[in-house]
A and B are shown apart, each in its own frame.
Chain A
Amino acid sequence: MNKSIQQQLNILDYGLHSLWQKKGRNFCVFLIFSGVIFLLASFQFMSASLTRTAELLLVTVPDITVQQLSAGRQVPLSAKSLGKLDTVFGISSIRPRIWGYYFDESNGANYTVIGSSAPATDDLLDSLLIAGSYPQAGEQGAVVLGSAVLDNLGLGDRKSFSLFRPDLTQVALHRVGVFQQSINLLTADLMLMSLEDARDLFAMGHDEFTDLLVQVANPTEIPTIASKIADAIPGSRVVTAEQIRKTYEAVFSFRSGFGAACLLASLAAFVILAFDKGLGFSREDQQEVGILKMLGWQTGDIMRLRFYESLATAACAFGLGISLAWAHILFFDGGLFRSVFLGWSVLRPTFDIVPYIQGRDILLLFAFSALPYLAATIIPAWRASIVRADSVV
Chain B
Amino acid sequence: MLVTSWSIGLSVTSLLALFLILRSAYTGIRVVRFWDQSADTPLQIRLESEIWLSSTLMEYGLFFQIFSLLLLVIAADSFASLLPGAMCATGSFLANDYGMKSLALKLVSVFLYGFWILIHRLDIRSPRYPLVRLKNVYLLLLCPLLITDITLQTLYLQGLHPDIITSCCGVVFTKPDVSILGLSQSMASVSTVVVFYCGCLLLFLPAWKRFLFSQSLLAIGSALLFPTGLWIVTTFVSPYVYAMPHHRCPFCLLHAEYNFVGYPLFLSLYLASFSGMGVALLAAFRKHSDLEGVIYMQQKELRMVLSWSLLFFIGLSLYFPLKYLVLGGE
Contacts and interface: CB of A to CB of B under 8 A. Distances in A.
A378 B53 CA distance: 8
Nearest to B127: A298
B57 A364 contact: no
A261 B3 contact: yes
Contacts of A261: 3, 8
A250 B5 contact: no
B107 to A, nearest CB: 19
B74 A363 contact: yes
A243 B165 CA distance: 12
Contact of B20 (A363, A364, A375): A375
Interface string B161-185: 0100000000000000000000000
Interface string B85-107: 00000000000000000000000
B71 interface: yes
A378 B49 CA distance: 14
A299 B20 CA distance: 19
Of B9, B53, B67, chain A has the most CB atoms within 10 Å of the CB of B9
B82 interface: yes
B53 A246 contact: no
A254 B3 contact: yes
A43 B70 CA distance: 22
A367 B13 contact: yes
B16 interface: yes
A299 B9 contact: no
B57 A243 contact: no
Given A257-B5, A258-B3, A261-B3, A299 B49 contact: yes
Interface in A284-308: 299-300, 303
Contacts of A363: 70-71, 74
B77 to A, nearest CB: 8
Interface in A362-384: 363-364, 367-368, 371-372, 374-375, 378-379, 381-382
Interface in A242-260: 243, 246, 249-250, 253-254, 256-258, 260
A264 B5 contact: no
A372 B16 contact: yes
B56 interface: yes
A299 B4 CA distance: 40
B5 A371 contact: no
B60 interface: yes
B144 to A, nearest CB: 21
A378 B20 contact: yes
B6 interface: yes
A382 B19 contact: no
Contacts of B312: none
A303 B57 CA distance: 11
Contacts of B78: 360
A210 interface: no
Interface in B37-91: 49, 52-53, 56-57, 60, 64, 67-68, 70-71, 74, 77-78, 81-82, 84
Nearest to B162: A250
Interface in A339-393: 360, 363-364, 367-368, 371-372, 374-375, 378-379, 381-382, 385-386
Given A257-B8, A371-B13, A382 B81 contact: no
B21 to A, nearest CB: 11
B12 interface: yes
A16 B77 CA distance: 38
B13 A382 contact: no
Given A254-B3, A264-B12, A375 B52 contact: no
Given A257-B7, A378-B20, A246 B13 contact: no
Interface in A221-263: 243, 246, 249-250, 253-254, 256-258, 260-261
- The main secondary structure of chain A at its interface with chain B is helix
A310 to B, nearest CB: 11
Contacts of A374: 60
Contact of A378 (B8, B10, B13, B56): B56
Given A246-B82, A300-B52, A374-B60, A257 B4 contact: yes
B69 to A, nearest CB: 12
B243 interface: no
Contacts of B64: 371, 375
Contacts of A313: none
Nearest to B20: A375
A260 B9 CA distance: 9
Interface in B147-166: 162
Contacts of B82: 246, 249-250, 253
Interface in A159-206: none
B73 to A, nearest CB: 10
Which of A47, A303, A360, A367 has most B Cβ within 10 Å? A367
Contacts of B71: 363-364, 367
A260 B5 contact: yes
A142 to B, nearest CB: 39
Contacts of A371: 12-13, 16, 64, 67
B3 A385 contact: no
B267 interface: no
Contacts of B145: none
B322 interface: no
Given A250-B162, A261-B8, A264-B8, A378 B60 contact: yes
A371 B49 CA distance: 24
The 10 closest A-B pairs by CB, nearest first: A257-B4, A382-B53, A257-B3, A386-B49, A367-B9, A364-B9, A260-B5, A299-B52, A253-B4, A360-B74
Interface of A: 43-44, 47, 243, 246, 249-250, 253-254, 256-258, 260-261, 264, 299-300, 303, 360, 363-364, 367-368, 371-372, 374-375, 378-379, 381-382, 385-386
29 contacts: A246-B84, A249-B82, A253-B4, A253-B5, A253-B82, A256-B4, A257-B6, A257-B8, A260-B5, A260-B8, A264-B8, A299-B49, A300-B124, A303-B52, A360-B74, A360-B78, A364-B5, A364-B71, A371-B64, A371-B67, A374-B60, A375-B20, A375-B60, A375-B64, A378-B53, A378-B56, A378-B57, A382-B52, A386-B49
Given A246-B162, A360-B78, 8 more contacts: A257-B4, A260-B9, A264-B12, A300-B52, A363-B71, A368-B8, A375-B16, A378-B53
